[in-house]
Amino acid sequence: MDFNIRRKSTRTAISGSLIETYPHDLQMYKVPPTENITLQEFENLALERLTLLRTLATATTLKGLRLYSDEFTDFILSELKNNGLKYYVKLCEKSGCGSLETDLQARRKDHIAHFILRLAYCRTEDLRRWFITRELELFRMRFITMKAEALDAFFKINNLYYTNISDEEKSDIIINLRESTQHQNIEHMKFYKVKFYEVLDLVRSRKVFIKGGYAYIPHKDFISVLTAQYRTHLRQSLAIASQHLKEIEQDERIVCLLKGLHQSYSGNDYSDSKVVVPIESLDSLSLKSFPLCMRQLHEQLRLAHHLKHGGRLQYGLFLKGIGVTLEDSLRFWREEFTKIMEIDKFEKQYAYNVRYNYGKEGSKKNYSPFNCLKIINNNVGPGECHGCPFRHSDSSNLKNKLKGYGFEPQGISDVVDMAKKGHYQIACSKYFDLVHGTSIGLGINHPNQFYEESQKLQKGDIKIEPKKEVKNHSTKVEQTDLEDIDFDENLIKI
């Protein structure tokens, strides 16, 4: 499992061979990827898969959806769509074995991303368990939604050859099959014989007839065989990966990224805050706790009394996420904007947008603050100053800005170096350390996470009032703790 990270993509695999490498939407990830990818793609793929896995966790634990039910699958798909993860929607909706370029690219991303997360999640037993549970859920969900015609192909590709038992043998044990199989109408099903230890989940729950060491399963139950194999394979691979971490982690950029991943943002959307932050404290907060992207938006607003749409959106949602109420937010924007325009104009043209952000207008959706991925990949046009400063600034501008803030030269050049190499989030992490005089090396994935980590560090420094009423009934629970919940992978059942 060696990832060669290059700044510029020097992909060796070409589409012609992609179809051989990736014949099917559903993979068992037996062979690690060998191609070279850019660090940027590495990061993106990792975060996108993390989003997917966390969505799975959310579906069962926070939404309380029954595993693999229609509602469950619908939820996953709609979340993936919301996050713009089209290729995962494609892979999860109806696995097949198409051969379009988009099919192949989706599988390639799926493949690489899976292996990147192995590296991030092989570190401790808890992480391994979490990861295995999620990947198994994903696998099962995709197997269940697979197109019928793709099923045979899947078995063939993975060398899963089983022959069904004869009608005679079946009729000998038909009573037992009827008693002990979890399905109705077994008369019309073909049955297969597998060793009992290949379907332990069915054995454990007495949902299969076993005789002489063999379990008799219909086609439908093959998912048990596959998940058992896949689980064993994952367990072993993660154990091996954890032993080889040192070799992989010789590259500091990857260390930083991988370590950050599992504790990083991607699932929490910060759309509701537990505290109320008064706008009077924003000036001081922007110095102490805002990530650079927000700090520069704040400064720009104070300076120019105006922000363009992209900036208002990025900053406005961030403010909502840290706990600025709608009323305060309206006041905040109004105060600034009316320094250069009539109040009428503000109310007509801008107030709507503020309320919109809070889900009070338009589709009334409770919008989430943008994460780094989105911010970094945003287009920033002329006259706009949103986006990620590490990505969307020239080195000299960045350096000057940091100098202006009074940081020491060595720290500044560390940050600027990382940004130059394209490691924006690592640069952001170094900036975090610069501001706080620490060397934590946090993995940053979300501006609001930056803010919260900062607040944790300086607890008590600012005045925070507990929020009095929960406004939105679709309140999101803090999801950063998700991975602390004890998921028992053994409990996975159809």
Partner 1 sequence: MVGQYDENLLSDMLPIYYAKLFPQNVFCRWLSCGNYPQPLGNRELSFTLSDDVYLRYLSINNQKELQTLFQKKCPYKLDIGAVYNTKPSIGRHDSIILARELVFDIDLTDYDEVRTCCKEAKVCGKCWKFMVIACEIIHTALRDDFGFQNILWVFSGRRGIHCWVSDHEARTLDSPGRSAIADYMCLITGGENQNKKVNLGNDNLHSSIRRAINIIEKYFKELLEDQEFLSTTERLSTFLKIIPDETLRHQIEKVLDKMPTSSLQRWESFVDIYNNYCKENVTAIRKMKHLIEEIMIQYCYPRLDINVTKGFNHLLKSPFSIHPKTGKVSIVFKPEFARDIKLDEVPTIYTLLDDASPENAQHQTNMRTAVKNFQEVVFSLEKTEALRRKKYGGNSMEF
Q: Please state the closest distance from residue 447 (CB atom) to ligand SF4, in A.
A: 4
Pick the closer one to partner 1 by CB: 198 or 269: 198
Q: Please state the closest distance from residue 39 (CB atom) to ligand SF4, in A.
A: 14
Residue of the chain from 88, 333, 337, 390 that contacts ligand SF4 (CB under 6 A): 390
Q: Please state the closest distance from residue 224 (CB atom) to partner 1, in A.
A: 11
Alpha-carbon separation of residue 36 from 8, 106, 301, 378 (angstroms): 9, 17, 42, 25
Among partner 1, ligand SF4, none, residue 300 binds (CB under 5-8 Å by kind) = none
Pick the closer one to partner 1 by CB: 210 or 307: 210
Q: How far apart are CA 123 and CA 121, in angstroms?
A: 6
Q: Please state the closest distance from residue 289 (CB atom) to partner 1, in A.
A: 46
- Strand 191-195 and strand 214-218: the pairing is antiparallel
What is the Cα 338 distance to its own chain's centre? 40
Q: Which of residues 291-320 bind ligand SF4 (CB under 6 A)?
A: 291-293
Alpha-carbon separation of residue 316 from 242, 308, 386 (angstroms): 41, 11, 11
Q: How far apart are CA 175 and CA 172, in angstroms?
A: 8
Residue of the chain from 194, 199, 307, 372 that contacts ligand SF4 (CB under 6 A): 372
- Site residues, partner 1 (CB under 8 A): 175-176, 178-180, 196-197, 200-201, 203-206, 209-214, 490
Among ligand SF4, partner 1, none, residue 388 binds (CB under 5-8 Å by kind) = ligand SF4
What number of residues does the chain have? 494
DSSP 83: T
Q: Please state the closest distance from residue 400 (CB atom) to ligand SF4, in A.
A: 16
Burial 149-164 (b: 16+ CB within 10 A, else e): ebbebbeeeeeeeeee
Q: Which residues make Cβ contacts (< 8 Å) with residue 298, sequence separation at least 6? A: 282, 283, 286, 290, 315
293 appears as a binding residue in the annotation: yes
Residue 96 binds ligand SF4 (CB under 6 A): no
Alpha-carbon separation of residue 166 from 163, 178, 191 (angstroms): 9, 16, 8
| Lookup result for tokens 């997917």 | 52
Residue 369 binds ligand SF4 (CB under 6 A): no
Question: Which range, of 247-255, 261-269, 384-392, 467-475, touches ligand SF4 by CB under 6 A?
Answer: 384-392
Among ligand SF4, partner 1, none, residue 203 binds (CB under 5-8 Å by kind) = partner 1
Among ligand SF4, partner 1, none, residue 373 binds (CB under 5-8 Å by kind) = none
Q: Please state the closest distance from residue 488 (CB atom) to partner 1, in A.
A: 12
Question: Which range, of 103-111, 341-349, 388-396, 397-405, touches ligand SF4 by CB under 6 A?
Answer: 388-396
Residue of the chain from 218, 267, 321, 389 that contacts ligand SF4 (CB under 6 A): 389
Question: Which range, of 164-172, 287-295, 333-341, 483-491, touches ligand SF4 by CB under 6 A?
Answer: 287-295
Alpha-carbon separation of residue 483 from 55, 126, 129, 274 (angstroms): 12, 8, 10, 20
Q: Where are the alpha helices (DSSP H) in 289-408?
A: 292-304, 309-322, 326-337, 343-349, 351-357, 372-376, 395-404
388 appears as a binding residue in the annotation: yes
Among partner 1, ligand SF4, none, residue 176 binds (CB under 5-8 Å by kind) = partner 1
Bridge partners, residue 209, by sequence: 216
Pick the closer one to partner 1 by CB: 212 or 406: 212
Pick the closer one to ligand SF4 by CB: 126 or 299: 299
Among ligand SF4, partner 1, none, residue 178 binds (CB under 5-8 Å by kind) = partner 1
Q: Which residues make Cβ contacts (< 8 Å) with residue 343, sequence separation at least 6? A: 334
Pick the closer one to ligand SF4 by CB: 220 or 288: 288
CB 192 within 8 Å of CB 217: yes
Residue 321 binds ligand SF4 (CB under 6 A): no
Alpha-carbon separation of residue 231 from 72, 108, 287, 474 (angstroms): 22, 21, 47, 35
Pick the closer one to partner 1 by CB: 179 or 247: 179
Among ligand SF4, partner 1, none, residue 375 binds (CB under 5-8 Å by kind) = ligand SF4
CB 253 within 8 Å of CB 420: no
DSSP 4: -
Q: How far apart are CA 271 and CA 322, in angstroms?
A: 9
Extract the tokens encoding 359: 């889900």
Which helix (H) or strand (E) segment holds residue 157: the answer is: helix 148-157
Q: Which of residues 418-447 bind ligand SF4 (CB under 6 A)?
A: 424-425, 428, 444, 447
Among ligand SF4, partner 1, none, residue 326 binds (CB under 5-8 Å by kind) = none
97 appears as a binding residue in the annotation: no
Tell me the site size for ligand SF4, rule CB under 6 A: 14
Q: How far apart are CA 140 and CA 144, in angstroms?
A: 6
Pick the closer one to ligand SF4 by CB: 330 or 428: 428
Q: How far apart are CA 395 and CA 402, in angstroms?
A: 11
Residue ranges at the known binding site for [4Fe-4S] cluster: 293, 372, 388, 428
Residues at the interface with ligand SF4 (CB under 6 A): 291-293, 372, 375, 388-390, 424-425, 428, 444, 447, 450
User: Annotated binding site, which residues?
Assistant: 293, 372, 388, 428
